[in-house]
Amino acid sequence: MQDVLTVQGLCKQYEGFALRDVSFTLRPGAITGLIGRNGAGKSTTLKSLLNLVHPDSGDISFFGQPFLGHEQQAKQQLSFVMGGFSYYPMKKLKTITAATRPFYTGWDEDVYRRCIQRFKLPEQKTPRQLSDGMRVKYALALALSHHAKLLILDEPTSGLDPVSRDELMELFLALVQEEGVTILFSTHITTDLEKCADDILYIKNGELVAQTGMRQFLEEYRMVSFPTPQPPKQAAEKLIGCRPSRTGCEALVHTANLPIDGAEVQKAGLEDIMVHMERV
Amino acid sequence: MKALLQKELRLAMHPAALLFLALSALLIIPNYPYYVTFFYTTLGIFFICLTGRETQDVLYSALLPVAKKDIVTARMLVAVGLQLLQMVIAVPFAVLRQRLIPAGNEVGMDANIALFGISLMMLGVFNWVFFTRYYHNVQKVGMPFNIACAVYFVLLCVAEAAAHIVPFVRDKLDTPDPRYLAEKLVVLAVGAVLYALFTLAACRRAQSLFKKQDL
């Protein structure tokens, strides 16, 4: 099956920051999480995909066609949401929808009506009067109404309470299963991804350091802890991002480097992996 | 383009920009620097762009399936629409001013055909100065407007002063219609051509600048 998005050698140089040779693909019908700490290059990567930020080099293809030269066709089939829906905070949803509808050749009013009912969106209200979670849902309603096959969301869960985040993750899963959409979303809230992501893209200091399946990524690492303030010397070079813990010290380790004498081994969560890798 | 224009009117239009159109009635004041009347549309355009920054209008537009150059064209068409609408609305007030108060404008230029021609030229210059700076960085609206205003007011002062001290302007252009009609019509035509040229050049330059801009 054709890849939904292919990115090859994406580079962008800023003063004090550079996006270096970012390459990845998105499988159709998969939820891919783009993780990385603040300032790692998540938003720059996502913005570069749609030429909102102009990359210095790199090739981007949506649905098998290069984005440059087919920009409008690609945008008909995807939706990009930054944060929640932060546009036109004082306009009623029905006004925003009325202004947005004519741009999409595949706009489906029945789908829009169903989304409005399903997400319980009050069309007479303005984005400002909606909760952060409802704003994301409105953005999804607009995306689904023009049958977007790819949803790109930049930090959609940022600022949401745990219940709303959980609801949204459930919704993402439902959209993939029911509508067959592909989702790429950036976040630094790793627990969200553990609930729903199939694949992981991990970006660090502008470089993609991991592109793999979620389960595989989690299986690649383990957490090890030692009862002493410092790890044994023979283990030190196998450890990633060793740090003091309440009972001694702990670190991340590649599964291939196990076993380690004197270490208590536990499964690593996405947060563990990210926190320890960022210490290197 | 139709969808973009609808979006401009529904989502980006600032109510004050429409309200300022009513200020065409300033032409009925017996003594007033009438060139100021047409300045108010530029203020309306500034409000649209400023509000657009706060509502992330440019980013929303850039995410829609449209060409980036069309986003610029739509905004400039709205600006041109407002400017020309203000001119059209001002015409009956200019006629009324001349019919009701036969005495000329003590402050400067009379509300006559030449006033419209020179104002068109001034608005064309405003469009060039403002839009070519605004589309260099859409996050900065204030400075482009300040510079464009400064240029507009220099032109306004020169035009008003000319109505007092330049013999051709004072004796022929600053007179009630239809006196020196031919000269005034030439000024109107030249003003309209300059307005079109400045605005078209501004649009092309703004499109090129906006295309290169990181949002």
Residues 6+ apart with CB under 8 A from A115: A121, A140, A141, A144, A145
Q: How far apart are the C-alpha atoms of A226 and A242, rounded to whole Å?
A: 10
**Chain A residues within 8 A of B14 when measuring between CB atoms:** none
Q: Give A258's Cβ-side CA count (13 Å radius).
A: 17
Question: Hey, are the CB atoms on B65 and A75 less than 8 Å from each other?
Answer: yes
Tell whether B88 lies on the interface with A, counting CB pairs under 8 A. no
Residues 6+ apart with CB under 8 A from A205: A40, A41
Which of these, A195, A223, A85, A207, lies nearest to A141 by C-alpha position? A85
Q: Give B44's Cβ-side CA count (13 Å radius).
A: 27
Is pLDDT of B185 > 70?
yes
Instruction: Note the ipTM here.
Output: 0.87
Q: Report the pLDDT value the prediction gives residue B116, as an integer from 0 to 100.
A: 96
Q: The dihedral of CA A77, A80, A81, A87: what is its sign?
A: negative
User: Which pLDDT band, with edges at 50, 70 and 90, does B78 fall under?
Assistant: very high
What is the third-level CATH fold of A5-216? Rossmann fold (3.40.50)
Residues 6+ apart with CB under 8 A from A114: none
Q: What is the pLDDT of residues A192-245, one digit of tens each?
A: 888 888 999 999 999 999 999 999 999 999 999 988 888 888 888 888 888 888
Question: Hey, are the CB atoms on B67 and A50 less than 8 Å from each other?
Answer: no
Q: How far apart are the C-alpha atoms of B59 and A56, rounded to whole Å?
A: 21
Between strands A150-154 and A182-187, the pairing is: parallel
What one-letter code names the amino acid at B144?
A: P
* Tokens coding A240: 């990633």
Q: What is the pLDDT of residues B121-138, one digit of tens each?
A: 999 999 999 999 999 999
Question: Hey, are the CB atoms on B65 and A90 less than 8 Å from each other?
Answer: no
Element housing A212 (H / E): strand A207-213
* Tokens coding B176: 């009630």
**List of E strands, B15-174:** none
Q: How far apart are the C-alpha atoms of A254 and A263, rounded to whole Å?
A: 13
Q: What is the mean pLDDT of residues A242-261?
A: 87
Residues 6+ apart with CB under 8 A from B7: A99, A100, A103, B61, B64, B74
- The residues pairing with A33 across neighbouring beta strands, listed in sequence order, are A185, A200
Q: In chain B, how many domains are there?
A: 1
Which of these, B9, B30, B15, B8, lies nearest to B102 by C-alpha position? B30
Mean pLDDT across chain B, nearest whole number? 94
- Torsion-angle region of A63 (φ positive above 0: left; ψ -120 to 50: alpha; else: beta): left
Q: Report the pLDDT value the prediction gives residue A1, as an integer from 0 to 100.
A: 67
Q: How far apart are the C-alpha atoms of B123 and B194, rounded to whole Å?
A: 9
**Chain A residues within 8 A of B215 when measuring between CB atoms:** 47, 52-53
* A72 contacts B66 by C-beta, under 8 angstroms: yes
Tell whether B55 lies on the interface with A, counting CB pairs under 8 A. yes
Question: Hey, are the CB atoms on B66 and A103 less than 8 Å from each other?
Answer: yes
Q: What is the pLDDT of residues B8-43, one digit of tens each?
A: 999 999 999 999 999 999 999 889 999 999 999 999
Element housing B209 (H / E): helix B181-212
Q: Report the pLDDT value the prediction gives residue A8, as an integer from 0 to 100.
A: 94
What one-letter code names the amino acid at B59?
A: L
- Torsion-angle region of A245 (φ positive above 0: left; ψ -120 to 50: alpha; else: beta): beta
Tell whether B60 lies on the interface with A, counting CB pairs under 8 A. yes
Q: Report the pLDDT value the prediction gives residue A12, as an integer from 0 to 100.
A: 92
Q: Report the pLDDT value the prediction gives residue A180, as an integer from 0 to 100.
A: 85
Domain with B86, as residue range(s), is 2-212
Tell whether A68 lies on the interface with B, counting CB pairs under 8 A. no
Q: The dihedral of CA A85, A91, A92, A97: what is its sign?
A: negative
- Torsion-angle region of A158 (φ positive above 0: left; ψ -120 to 50: alpha; else: beta): beta
User: Which pLDDT band, with edges at 50, 70 and 90, does A152 fall under?
Assistant: very high
Between strands A249-254 and A221-226, the pairing is: antiparallel
Name which of B3, B6, B63 is nearest A50 (Cβ-Cβ): B63
Q: What is the mean pLDDT of residues B45-60?
A: 94
* Tokens coding A184: 């790429």
Is pLDDT of A263 > 90?
no
Q: Report the pLDDT value the prediction gives residue A144, as an integer from 0 to 100.
A: 84
Tell whether A103 lies on the interface with B, counting CB pairs under 8 A. yes
Least confident range from A72-81, B74-83, B127-136: namely A72-81
3-state class of B66 per DSSP?
A: coil
**Chain B residues within 8 A of A103 when measuring between CB atoms:** 3, 7, 64-66
Tell whether B14 lies on the interface with A, counting CB pairs under 8 A. no
DSSP letter at A24?
Answer: E
Q: Report the pLDDT value the prediction gives residue A230, as an integer from 0 to 100.
A: 86
Mean pLDDT across chain A, nearest whole number? 89
